[in-house]
Structure 1
Amino acid sequence: MKIDSFVIQQSDQVRARDISKKIALRLCEPESVYSAVHSEHNVSPETKYHPWGETSLSHGYPGNIHLLSQWRATDLSYDWNRAIHLNMAQIQSSLAINGLHDLSLYSGWAGIAASVREASNYGEYYSNFSQQIHQWMMPLTEQWLQSNTEQLSLHEGMPMQSFDTISGASGIGRYILINSTNPICTPLVEPILQFLTDLTHPIHIHNHYVPGWYSPQKFQFLDRDKRNYPLGNFNCGMAHGIPGPLALLSVAYSSGIEVKGQYQAIETITEWLLKYKYEDEYGSYWPHIVPFEAETGSLRFDLERAREAWCYGTPGITCSLFLAGKALHNVELQKSAVKACVGAISYEIAKREMDSSALCHGLAGLLTISWRMWRHSKEPAFLPLIQQLTNCLLDRFQMDSPLGYLDPEPRSDGSLTWLTKAGMLEGVAGIAAALLSVSENKEIGWDYILMLS
């Protein structure tokens, strides 16, 4: 359904659509994409690997299928079904050869299932494959959930990948929730919501009661975080922190799906996040991470605003708070979330330091958040932000680069390596999806994978 005309200038709508299609056409041939990503010097300075995962929504074929499926819905001039099928065949081949033990939304079964859902055209295609995935995935999810529930019952803190959006129950649960009427998926909806609800119960750590989503040192992802947070921390990012559970619990509650304690859990997370709200000339902002010592009062915790993106920072947090406001029927919370989101994105645009164009930590993520929050709120302050972010992305398109955009990764000396990446989260498929959304100027459905709707 078309919505208000000309959110961005007409000429930019045409350019955004054109660039999105150019990228989509480059993703139609899987072998060419694979070769581009696996070129000799296209290697991450951190991992020493090519930025690729064949079955990854973040970096591989499932993410590309998301974009191709969107183009099939809007453009009849090309055989998008063929392109989707070629990418799907690569996923099936990889599964047959390598198997897959990862359930997550961005690297595992949930992400593959999400791409098949997009490609199915409301059940017209791939119904058998979708059924097979659910039959494989749901028993594994049940076992995974039982294991994490046992860890939760120890009351010693949780690894972020047990509950977050990227790897954990929030991302997996978001896919299951959107398929909650599927008889194979239905039995797991409430157990996942109950797990995330129970995550909000306080636990006793080092003589203090703290929120149950506390992550001790041993569960930190990175060695530097283990050094920086010897007593552990509380992650505030939409990618790896508590906003993911808040978004899922809120969307489920607003959809009429509720487990015991869920409403209180939404309130608990919301109140905790609001406790760590800071102010500057752009408005409210939040830290990326709260140290254990800050939560327990033994450390003065005062910080300046950091990078604002989907994965970490105020934009992702405010989206989850807005959804919580809807669930709680708290209009003031919704208004304050909108205001803080506008301020955070305005700050990032004014700073002009965001190197990445990607969804995860770049301009496409801010554009998609602006678009979604404008759809939620009709706040006019988002409109110039949408225009500016679109212009920035259009200006960054590189016709002579293999897939149209490059994503930066830092080297140890502080310089940047610019990499060709496919997929939704850090790759060109996500950028093109964001551009197509604003160029089409209509309601989008794919951003549920970012916990935005």
Structure 2
Amino acid sequence: MAQSLAQGAAGIALLHVERAHARLGPWSVAHRWITQASSGDVSAADTTGLFLGAPAIAFLLNTTPTAFNARYSDAWTTLHAHVTALAHRRTDTALARMFRGDLPTFAEYDVFYGLTGIGAYLLRSDPSSSALERILNYLVTLTRPLETDGRSLPGWWVGHDPRRGHSAHFPGGHGNIGAAHGITGCLLLLAQTLRRGISVEGQPEAIRSICEHLDVWRQDSAAGPWWPEHLTVADLDTGHPHSHGPGRPSWCYGTVGIARAGQLAGIALDDSALQRSYEDALYRCLTDPIQLAQVTDTSLCHGWAGIFQTAYRSAHDALTPHLHNVLQPLGDALSAHARPGSPKGPGLIDGDAGCALSLTTLATDQAPTTGWDACLLID
């Protein structure tokens, strides 16, 4: 648990590193949490990813201020070597799976434990590495259709249900559209790298392909566009999603994360029309009281903290100023609902640490000095 960025000491340490960076707290507290997160053997097994094990601790150490780098440089260098090797192993495994024609799982490509998350770390720490290049090439390939059981499916179609099990509601698996476990997370990394001048052959076309898929499944309503969280085989056959309306606004599955990814795609492709369309989708979502009424907690994953942090980043990249108008009411909602002692615990993704980090952005009206929200790929 200590090595978990999602729920453990590693994620809590991010909060205290950010606070120390911003001169809102002492470095001694941050160091204590870093020590707790990195105590014991740090796993670099193939089941680890950005939110667990060596990649999580390496990401944490990469956020420490320059003045303290010497204290952690040896540990980071060792961890980084393990993460680089992990990235190559995991890419080899994924490419072998593709060659066999099997369906992937969330763990292969998602932000939390898959290659997209490992790529997010490498984008921060080693952007010119062959490991990141191979991950980007893999993601480009992932956007191509996969022929299985006599039919063509999106390359990211997984063979399990949204809870990673098997149920009668998802025969033949599903296609996930969310940022946390779906194709939108892959789009975030592809757009963030291209935006920074890092690309591989076919990357712009892959970004376009994902955006075209999102266009196909975009649902328009009086309150604005929305997207289904996931698709079934039956949805593909009928051309209509089984869901009848937008889910709660969130980074992980909802319009908020999807719209940020689409906005970044527009920026990366220098396509102002695409960028504006997703900015409008985000604005309409965040000004719809019916959608906002579905938000029930303050978490980063699917609560007010993630909504505010994503909106803050989106507003500061926006072509038009109207997104700035939602920041004050969203900040008010975050402040009104924030209470210490979250029932989900003190962790980053669902608990107090993530909420406190977004509150820090709200209080300072500045982007994170550590870039901690790169773990969500919204920076």
Give the TM-score taking structure 1 as reference length.
0.78
Q: 1:274 & 1:321 partners in 2: Cα distance?
A: 10
Q: Is the 8 A contact 1:210 1:296 kept in 2?
A: no
Structure 2 counterpart of 1:360: 301
Structure 1 counterpart of 2:261: 320
Structure 1 counterpart of 2:279: 338
Give the letter for the 2:374 counterpart. Y
Superposed CA offset, 1:250-271 (max 9, x none): 1111222221221211111110
Q: Is the 8 A contact 2:107 2:113 kept in 1?
A: yes
Give the letter for the 1:67 counterpart. L
Give the letter for the 1:432 counterpart. A
Structure 2 counterpart of 1:147: 93
Structure 2 counterpart of 1:177: 123
Structure 2 counterpart of 1:382: 323
Cα drift, residue 119 of structure 1? 2.2
Aligned pairs for 1:64-103 within 5 A: 64-75=12-23, 78=25, 80-95=26-41, 99=43, 101=45, 102-103=47-48
Deviation beyond 4 Å, 4+ runs, structure 1 = 298-302, 348-351
Structure 2 counterpart of 1:195: 138
Q: Is the 8 A contact 1:235 1:241 kept in 2?
A: yes
Give the letter for the 1:111 counterpart. A
Give the 3 Å change call, closer, same or farther, for CA 195–300 of structure 1 in structure 2.
Answer: closer
Superposed CA offset, 1:286-317 (max 9, x none): 00001122224476756211112111111101
Greater C-alpha Rg: 1
Please say if 1:55 is aligned against 2:3: yes
Q: 1:56 & 1:236 partners in 2: Cα distance?
A: 25
Q: Is the 8 A contact 1:54 1:94 kept in 2?
A: no
Pick aligned residue for 1:118 from 60, 63, 67 = 63
Aligned pairs for 1:144-293 within 5 A: 144-180=90-126, 186-217=129-160, 221-223=163-165, 226-293=167-234
* Matched pairs, number: 375
Give the 3 Å change call, closer, same or farther, for CA 313–181 of structure 1 in structure 2.
Answer: closer
Q: 1:302 & 1:92 partners in 2: Cα distance?
A: 43
Cα drift, residue 345 of structure 1? 2.1
The structure whose RCO (Cα within 8 Å, separation 6+) is larger is: 1
Greater shift, 310-319 or 352-361, is seen at 352-361
Which secondary structure does the structure 2 equivalent of 1:283 belong to?
A: coil
Greater shift, 281-290 or 253-262, is seen at 253-262
Which secondary structure does the structure 1 equivalent of 2:349 belong to?
A: coil
Which secondary structure does the structure 1 equivalent of 2:175 belong to?
A: strand
Q: Is the 8 A contact 1:237 1:288 kept in 2?
A: yes
Q: 1:384 & 1:349 partners in 2: Cα distance?
A: 18
Q: Is the 8 A contact 2:49 2:55 kept in 1?
A: yes
Which runs of 5 or more structure 2 residues have no equivalent in the other structure? none
Q: 1:351 & 1:136 partners in 2: Cα distance?
A: 42
Greater shift, 63-72 or 190-199, is seen at 63-72
Pick aligned residue for 1:137 from 72, 75, 83 = 83
Structure 2 counterpart of 1:411: none
Superposed CA offset, 1:220-241 (max 9, x none): 5344x63211122110010000
Please say if 1:426 is aligned against 2:338: no
Give the TM-score taking structure 2 as reference length.
0.92
Q: 1:385 & 1:353 partners in 2: Cα distance?
A: 17
